[in-house]
Amino acid sequence: MTRRTTLLRNLSIVALLIAALLQVCGALTVSPRPEPVSAGGLAPEEVHAGAARGIVDRLQGHYRQMRFDDSLSEKVFNRYLRDLDPNRVYFLASDVAAFDRYRLLLDDQLRRGDLSAGFDIFNLYQQRVGERLEYLLARLDEGLDSLSFDGSDSVLLDRSEQPWASSEEDMDDIWERRLKNAVLTMRLDGVKDEEILTRLERRYSSQLNRVQQNASEDVFQIYINALTQTFDPHTSYFTPHTSENFNISMSRSLEGIGAVLQAEDEYTKVVRLVPGGPAAKAGQLKSADRIVGVGQEDDEMVNVIGWRLDEVVNLIRGPKGTEVRLEIIPAGSASEHSTREITIERNKVMLEEQAAKKQIIEIPGTNDSVERIGVIRIPAFYLDFDAYNRGEPDYTSTTRDVARLLQELNDEEPAIDGLVIDLRNNGGGSLHEATQLVSLFIGGGPTVQVRDARGRVQVERDKVPGTLYSGPMAVLVNRFSASASEIFAGAMQDYGRAIIIGDHTFGKGTVQTLLPLGHGQLKLTQAKFYRVSGSSNQNLGIVPDIEMPYLIDKEDIGESALPNALPWDKIDATAYTPQFNLTPYLPSLRELHDQRLAVNPEFIYVREQLVLLEEQRQKESVSLNEEERRSEQEAFEVRRLAIENTRRKAVGEEPLKDMAALRALDEQRSLDPENEMGDSDKPDPYLQETGAVLADLVRLLQNRQVANSEGKTAQE
């Protein structure tokens, strides 16, 4: 064999090996980019590709440990479509079929920093939104008389699980019904047709103008967050601008209304109110309300449907002493067009306004006895980090304030018989303070476990010897008690130190870290909290020993309501010694509690309202026949008025004459929020009932001590 023949044969073998290798390792080849569905429009900037690759790299450290494969690609694809068109009222079925070419390609593209699929989908979305808004404006140009309200038509309230419209005609029908519902809702609220026309034209024109102002940065943020929030709802990408807003919101120099907001579908939703903030003090804004308009003092209201969260925040934020007007859809409202306007004066959220406070309530007992119950209300777990890190001896902290209040309660004459720690609406704060607060009541031991993405578990411990209070305790919580509040409540429950009373807590049991990027930053979930018993706080929250009814929709508020929330799970318990076993007392406490709630007018009122609200929530569609709709509303209002007047009669108040009086009362209630620390004339029924449960426990414990003492004497 000649040297040349040998060389040719070797080259052939190498070629065959390369071909085989390429066939087996198809990932070495770059798939051709599919032709875009829509022409022109927005395109990614050069900096976005690098940021995307950096985000993909850092997501490898997420607690969930998801692989970048076809399964993830499909999840991101579905999430992106849901984020853009949650109610399936913009994309046609043919659009979604055209997008299907991207379904299994997104993982590969994102790893390379290729954002073409996300921008292609968004460009068509933007076109479709514009078409729909132009359709609505054209119909309004024809006048409201062109709309018929005497047929048998109805409108679906939730189309998220409905098929995509198959044609332009089907889409026109969907939007015709939505327009008629908007008009009818406003008519039933007493708005005149001329004003309805003006409001709707202003709203749709504003939305159309906003859609046309979208920039590449907007698309990048929306698309990348479809990726990050496929991992969990607390993992988020912040552009440089939104990073700045996030950092400002973390500082105490923020001047605004004191509300935590999030983007949900096309709306800005209120997650919770900051204790001590202007919104919490005013009492008009509630969790789960949706903000659809923002106005400055006497300026015209600006419609913010479809706006980015940071843009809405910028409108709401402003100098101390100025007023901001908000148009909101109240939580639980059956229609997005049933709105009301509120005004809040901006101010700073001061640390001292979040400070713990104390009071004493007296609970009547048997034989003219009275149980004195100390109450410490903790709005947030706060710590002056700067002063703490500088080693200043008088730094401000939750634990220090509570310790001082406990000492004051311990010095009371006569002494308190029990203690309530009120954590309602406490959204968390410093983990350090939560664990330190536990140390005031357990006298040594572990307080919480933290598990990272690699499965390593770190145990936080009580490093302070002794206890400041060892008597009977209760912890009062609600759905807005989250994070650090859940760590404290869980420890008190596991150690048997307190009865947990109220509602299922929020269920936020994850730990996030801010990671800088070359372009913006990434908030990444890297760990989970676990109780000393091994149970996670995540998703499930803290389940109270004694439950009370609240007018809160758990399908709308809480970790379990968030898409892709990490699940509840359990790890091994750490070594700890429960200090008391309250379980044997719970059946008696629940029985006495249920007997009181069965005759308590305030809780009867709450339960009847819950039934009414649940009926409304279960409605899948509403009639577009004006006469029928008015009849339904009147029936609803008759029931509401009856529920209100039953409560008023039971507590000795004058019944209301009609719905106009009830609406006026609702407005008055929003302007004069109930003071939860008992400074107002009206007692807090939840706090009073918590005190009653704790008083029951005190008496049961006393009876047990008497029985044990008598038994011991008999034996002697």
Tens digits of residue pLDDT in 544-597: 999 999 988 888 889 999 999 999 999 999 999 999 999 999 999 999 999 999
508 is catalytic: yes
Q: What is the predicted pLDDT for the residue at 436? A: 92
Q: Is residue 710 assigned to a domain? A: no
- Tell me: do 136 and 171 sit in the same domain: yes
- Boundary (domain end) residue, out of 348, 367, 399: 348
Judged against a pLDDT cut of 90, whether residue 287 lies above it is answered with: no
- Tell me: do 68 and 164 sit in the same domain: yes
Candidates 508, 535, 536, 684; catalytic one:
508
Q: Is residue 247 assigned to a domain? A: no
- Tell me: do 258 and 212 sit in the same domain: no
483 is catalytic: yes
Q: Is residue 692 assigned to a domain? A: no
HEC letters along 50-92: HHHHHHHHHHHHCCCCCCCCHHHHHHHHHHHHHHHCCCCCCCE
CATH code of the domain containing 302: 2.30.42.10
570 is catalytic: no
Nearest alpha-carbon partner for 310 in 214, 242, 251: 242
Instruction: Give the torsion through C-alpha atoms of 462, 463, 464, 469, to 10 deg.
Output: 10
In this prediction, what percent of the chain has a pLDDT beyond 70? 87
- Boundary (domain end) residue, out of 326, 348, 370: 348
Q: Is residue 520 assigned to a domain? A: yes
Q: pLDDT: is 38 or 299 the higher one? A: 299
Q: pLDDT: is 522 or 21 the higher one? A: 522
Q: Is residue 604 assigned to a domain? A: no
- Tell me: do 471 and 371 sit in the same domain: yes
Residue-averaged pLDDT of the chain: 86
* Residue 55 contacts residue 84 (beta carbons within 8 Å): no
Q: Is residue 479 assigned to a domain? A: yes
Q: What is the predicted pLDDT for the residue at 262? A: 77
- Boundary (domain end) residue, out of 172, 190, 217: 217
Phi-psi region of 429 (alpha: psi -120 to 50; beta: other; left: phi over 0): left
C-alpha–C-alpha distance, residues 500 and 693, integer Å: 10
Nearest alpha-carbon partner for 538 in 561, 562, 563, 569: 569
- Tell me: do 344 and 409 sit in the same domain: no
C-alpha–C-alpha distance, residues 286 and 330, integer Å: 8
**pLDDT, tens digit, 9 for 90 and up, residues 97-147:** 999 999 999 999 999 999 999 999 999 999 999 999 999 999 999 999 999
- Tell me: do 577 and 517 sit in the same domain: yes
Calculate mean pLDDT across residues 644-657.
Answer: 92
- Tell me: do 122 and 162 sit in the same domain: yes
Q: pLDDT: is 491 or 682 the higher one? A: 491
**pLDDT, tens digit, 9 for 90 and up, residues 5-42:** 444 455 444 444 434 433 433 333 344 566 666 656 89
Nearest alpha-carbon partner for 542 in 583, 486, 623, 501: 486
- Tell me: do 67 and 168 sit in the same domain: yes
Candidates 494, 503, 684, 696; catalytic one:
494
Neighbours of 644 (CB within 10 A): 21
Count the domains in the chain. 4
Q: Is residue 314 assigned to a domain? A: yes
Domain that holds residue 127: 46-217
- Tell me: do 417 and 342 sit in the same domain: no
- Tell me: do 190 and 288 sit in the same domain: no
- Tell me: do 187 and 273 sit in the same domain: no
Give the E-state strand segments of 563-605 in sequence order: none
- Tell me: do 196 and 89 sit in the same domain: yes
Q: Is residue 241 assigned to a domain? A: no
Candidates 73, 483, 535, 536; catalytic one:
483
